[in-house]
A = this chain, B = another copy of it.
Amino acid sequence: MSLIQRDLNCLWHPCAQMKDYEVFKPLIIKRARGSIIELSDGRKIIDAIASWWCKSLGHNHPQLKKALLQQLDKFEHVLLANTTYETIVQLSEKLTALMPSLKKVFYASDGSSAVEIAMKMSLHTRQIKGETNRKKFIALSNSYHGETIGALSVSDMGLYRDPYKELLFDVAFLAPLPYVLTRNDPLWGNCQQHWDILKKQLDLLAHETTAILVEPIVQGAGGMRLYSQDLLKRLRDWTKQHGIHLIADEIMTGIGRTGKMLACEYANIEPDFLCLAKGLTSGWLPLSAVLTSDEIYYLFYDEYDTGKAFLHSHTHCGNALAVSIALATLQVMEQEHICRYVSELEPLMFRYMSEIAEHTGKLENVRSMGAIVAADFIVRDPQQRVGFEVYKSAVKLGALLRPLGNTIYWFPPLNIEFSTLQELKEITQKSIEMVKF
């Protein structure tokens, strides 16, 4: 039996209508190097979305491999309760150096868990402080924070949440957001008009709210949409005034993706909780982190019998193999000046996508931030799955693009070579031209 048939007999793939696999068979992966995935039939395809936004340093980076091998000689994983080791201390020091006020790190494996840990910590502080009326969360409209029940509750995506709405708790979603296409939009610097509307919504909720969640600057699954940094500044000011926490979900934007280590830096703000995952290990292994302040940490710090401890546990909290890769990732980010390179990629990626839009006449709303560029297909027949058609065409031509509905985007490894980007441009353009719409 063929490997594909064996796969379809037993494997339920993520985020898929499995019937689609009848017409779009799974690609058989043989090797991956840098920005290139090699298939068993010898074809090479560009990993244009960094394997779901995580492989920030590409595949098989030698320094990451070396770090993993070194850790393998020591130990792979020991529970982190009452233990420590050099590598995790070094990683934690580097993470807490990202922002002056974020002094403590709590580890988990996936992004959803990180979001839920931050939310649990926020709510728990209200118990400890006797502010038991503060139990609501606010999120942005069009947000995505993950797919476990807590993370899904604060995600404003009907497609992902509707079948499970019976289990979700009630959350307020803020709209309209001051979306921009680039940082040249005047809204980027000042979103006063939007704020006037949003502030009214916020003020009504202030007394009962424990935290606001944001994907800073770029909303990922919501269609790679960028919004004004000024909104973040205003939200930070408003939350501080009202004693409300700000949770920054930088799972997708963090560790260099936007050209800065953290997207929050564009607004020059520091959240109360910061969530990292994906790029944290350059997509090698599952690892997530929640950073928070000493102020929060010491609320939980007391005699055991006061019952204030944060008792969340997670088997692979601080997994040593994942931690070794994360530390090496942060080292490579510095040594290879990745953020500087991303700032060179940004105008190139924007220009390439704009040229495709102009040449094909099939794209609108070209937008970019760091090593992310996106645009929307101009679709006439809403029944047509243009994104899916382009996806299939692109794979044939040599690129693993995977549009979000009718939004096409590039989210490549941060160290993708210019020549590969040039190739990606040509493949993308041809893929769009191959599809009639």
Taking beta carbons and an 8 Å cutoff, which residues of A are in contact with B? 3-4, 6-7, 9-21, 24, 26-32, 37, 47, 49, 51-55, 59-60, 65, 68-69, 72, 74-86, 88-89, 92-93, 95-96, 103-113, 116, 119-120, 123-124, 127, 135, 147-151, 153, 159-160, 163-164, 166-167, 169, 277-278, 283-286, 292, 297, 300-305, 308-322, 383, 385, 388, 395, 402
Contacts and interface: CB of A to CB of B under 8 A. Distances in A.
A16 B82 contact: yes
Majority secondary structure, A binding face: mixed
Identify the 3 closest CB pairs spanning chains A and B, nearest first: A149-B150, A15-B313, A17-B309
Contacts of A3: 84, 86, 89
A159 B52 contact: no
B113 A112 contact: yes
Contact of A77 (B15, B68, B78, B285): B285
Contacts of A77: 51, 54-55, 283-285
A184 to B, nearest CB: 32
Nearest to A11: B92
Contacts of A150: 148-150, 167
Given A77-B285, A149-B148, A110 B109 contact: yes
Contacts of A316: 54, 109-110, 283, 285-286
Given A15-B311, A285-B316, A31 B164 contact: no
Contacts of A149: 116, 119, 148-150, 153, 169
A4 B12 CA distance: 44
Given A10-B105, A84-B4, A160-B311, A18 B304 contact: no
A120 B14 CA distance: 13
B75 A32 contact: yes
Given A106-B12, A123-B167, A163-B123, A383 B85 contact: no
Nearest to A304: B17
22 contacts: A6-B89, A10-B103, A10-B105, A12-B105, A13-B80, A16-B310, A29-B74, A30-B74, A52-B81, A53-B315, A76-B285, A77-B283, A77-B284, A82-B402, A109-B109, A109-B286, A113-B148, A123-B166, A123-B167, A147-B313, A150-B150, A321-B321
